Amino acid sequence: MSDTLPSSLARRRSRLLARSVIALLALSHGARAADQIRHEAATVTLRLLPADETGEVRGALVIDLEPGWKTYWIAPGPVGLAPDLRFDRSAGLGPVAVDYPVPIRFHEGSDVSVGYDAPTAFALRSSLATGASPVLRADLLLGVCREICVPLQASLEARPDPGLSSQAAVASAFAALPDEAPTSSTIAARLSPDGREIAVTTDLPRTDGALAALFVGGPAGWTFGLPVAHDDPAHPGMLAFTIPVERRSVGPSGSLHVDLLLTSGETARLSRSLAVSLP
């Protein structure tokens, strides 16, 4: 399986990278980062709440997209750019975890992308660390597209804010997250012997197939095509999916874990770091 990008995609990403470098150089000459940036595609705001009684700290990266603009999920498809969010310059905080709301699929030319076509927010979680007062610093690069794609690159900084607007923004970000799949979930995934597809079995009836969608995020080196819903041959009447493997690599341990986000109607469940059975 070739790892070479199509020439049109390569040119598109080259232009995006060039603009990113220009944006980064501009940022290097600026003053201390603010908590918000206004861009032609979106206004992006970093929010941080004070720690709760357990020491957990919550925040949100709010992306207020302008009409017609789109941005991307962690597995954006062949022409999208996954969010690149880095928090290592933060102070007084432990590692920052990022959780994403349920995405949608949309067409870009002949390709299908995964992401968001309306204002959205990424939920942030951390914990207090000893030492300095908490300061959340985010270095971010988002791909945003309309007729063309442009980089949205910024360095933002937020300090704990108990105000109602911050509380509302963070609460909204967490409310939009999918549910975590229960430990009793019977969702399973298996890689085919030829390595060309992953078979996924679910606990949904086949009648839910018209409403169901599956989104898959994998480790570096793995990319996947559009999942296809069908009847589970081993369990007639139950919903299953086949996920084409477009590019693959296996780590030193020979293991493979994927994030599977299964939606059906108004429900969404995330199976985080699900082990894929290998042949």
3-state percent breakdown (helix, strand, coil) of the chain, nearest 5: 15, 45, 40
Distance CA 103, CA 83 (A): 13
Q: Is pLDDT of 117 > 80?
A: yes
In this predicted structure, what is the pLDDT of residue 3?
A: 36
13-52 exposure pattern, b = at least 16 Cβ within 10 A, e = fewer = eeebeeebeebeeeeeeeeebebebebebbebbbbbbebe
Q: Same CATH topology for 7-177 and 180-277?
A: yes
Q: Is pLDDT of 8 > 80?
A: no
**In this predicted model, what pLDDT tens digit does every residue of 23-69 receive, in sequence order?**
443 343 344 569 999 999 999 999 999 999 999 999 999 999 999 99
Q: Domain ranges in the chain?
A: 7-177, 180-277
Residue with the bigger pLDDT between 79 and 86: it is 86
- The β-bridge relationship of strands 70-72 and 84-86 is unpaired
Q: Is pLDDT of 111 > 60?
A: yes
Residue with the bigger pLDDT between 64 and 20: it is 64
CATH class of 7-177: mainly beta
Distance CA 136, CA 158 (A): 5
Helical H runs in the chain?
A: 7-28, 164-175
Q: Which of 2-11, 198-207, 247-256 has the lowest mean pLDDT?
A: 2-11
In this predicted structure, what is the pLDDT of residue 32?
A: 54
Q: Is pLDDT of 102 > 70?
A: yes
CATH class of 180-277: mainly beta
The average confidence (pLDDT) of the chain is 87
Average pLDDT over residues 162-170: 98
Q: Is pLDDT of 134 > 70?
A: yes
